[in-house]
Amino acid sequence: MLSLNSVTKRYGAFTALDRLSVTIPDDAYVSLLGASGSGKTSLLRVIAGFEEPDSGTVSYDGKHLNGVAPHRRGIGFVFQNFALFPHLSVENNIAFGLRYREQEPVVDPADVRQRVADIVRLVGLEGLEARKVTAISGGQRQRVALARTLVTEPRMVLLDEPLGALDANLRERMCDELRAIRERLKVTFLHVTGSETEALLMGDTVAVLSAGSVAQIAPASSLFSAPLNADVARHLNAYNVLSGKAEGGHFHADGARFPLPDHPVPQDGAPVDVALRFDRISVVAADAAEPLDAVIPARFVASEFNGSSVLSFFRMDDGTLLQVVAHLSGPPPRSFESGALYKLAFDPRDVISFTERAA
């Protein structure tokens, strides 16, 4: 179990990690979601020992890791650019850690060969052992990077945007394989990514990193359906986040007014943020007569066709951009007229409200 306690890391005037505390359980796939600049790479580097935190502690099973050299931490690191050893073959890349590590190097060549062969089979690199790492494809390099780390049996593997360098097709396949490999080896993976779909897909547990600290850590499904604050909701890229005031149990902002949920109890006049899922909104004509519980009037901007769904953008009078997703499995969505006014209707029970505004 890895624990970080109030870890702070600054680079000059910039604070990359701000009193960050988090616990990463054993034998789990944890994904760490953060926008670029949120400090996710700094966090991995502090855990790996490439950087020392300015304050706070990093510990593993209660033992302090602060000041422990990276090569004595037993934590593997898979780099975004793979960082393979260019002068070595695939096989020698994978055998590298076993042969040359400081603690318990494997000296018996037959033993090394056996272990390398096992891991090569696990990641599916058979037949490429003698190749130069420059003479294989991106996906294969990714596997070499992974195999090279896994063969040393680290207690934890840090993956820094491991799929970022792969094309979309390959990325999906590697996602499944990463999960399968991890489950077989029972080692903890901490997978950093900027993509919310990747984070939700990969992680048993998802941690959202925002402004240098962990905004929420929860199982993927509960994180998605119940973000803890507006910041987390924004990161999930599935919620419209509106800021306003509570007034008589209603949300009130320029051009929008609708009932707030009972929990948390809205206090009159207090600032409140609400999150509304893209796919829980239906679009109705501005002059529709049927009574609606909650509507936001907005003008249509543009649509994006995504294959299985259509994402439409609307702009409220105060300039706030709202997104609406219509899945194509349902009735075919209407086409909207650019600049025309529509009513965005939704069930007020789908609204999630946050009384504590994120800084």
Which residues lie near other proteins (CB under 8 A)?
48-50, 69-72, 74-77, 79-87, 96-97, 100-103, 132-134, 138, 141, 145, 148-149, 152, 154, 165
Residue 31 in contact with residue 207, Cβ under 8 Å? yes
CB closer to other proteins out of 163 and 200: 163
Structure tokens at 305: 């066709």
CB closer to other proteins out of 73 and 235: 73
For residue 230, which of 217, 218, 221, 239 has the smallest C-alpha distance? 239
d(CA 239, CA 278): 6
For the CB of residue 130, give the shortest distance to other proteins in the complex, in Å: 14
For the CB of residue 276, give the shortest distance to other proteins in the complex, in Å: 38
CB closer to other proteins out of 154 and 244: 154
Residue 278 in contact with residue 270, Cβ under 8 Å? no
For residue 237, which of 208, 204, 271, 203 has the smallest C-alpha distance? 208
d(CA 359, CA 354): 12
Residue 12 in contact with residue 64, Cβ under 8 Å? no
CB closer to other proteins out of 84 and 352: 84
CB closer to other proteins out of 103 and 308: 103
| DSSP states of 86-117 | TTSBHHHHHHHHHHH-SSS----HHHHHHHHH
DSSP three-state, residue 38: coil
For the CB of residue 110, give the shortest distance to other proteins in the complex, in Å: 20
For the CB of residue 52, give the shortest distance to other proteins in the complex, in Å: 13
Provide φ and ψ at 77, rounded to 5°: -140, 125
Cα distances (Å, whole numbers) of residue 306 to 78, 100, 303, 311: 31, 49, 10, 7
CB closer to other proteins out of 69 and 359: 69
For the CB of residue 28, give the shortest distance to other proteins in the complex, in Å: 20
For the CB of residue 85, give the shortest distance to other proteins in the complex, in Å: 6
For the CB of residue 133, give the shortest distance to other proteins in the complex, in Å: 6
CB closer to other proteins out of 70 and 297: 70
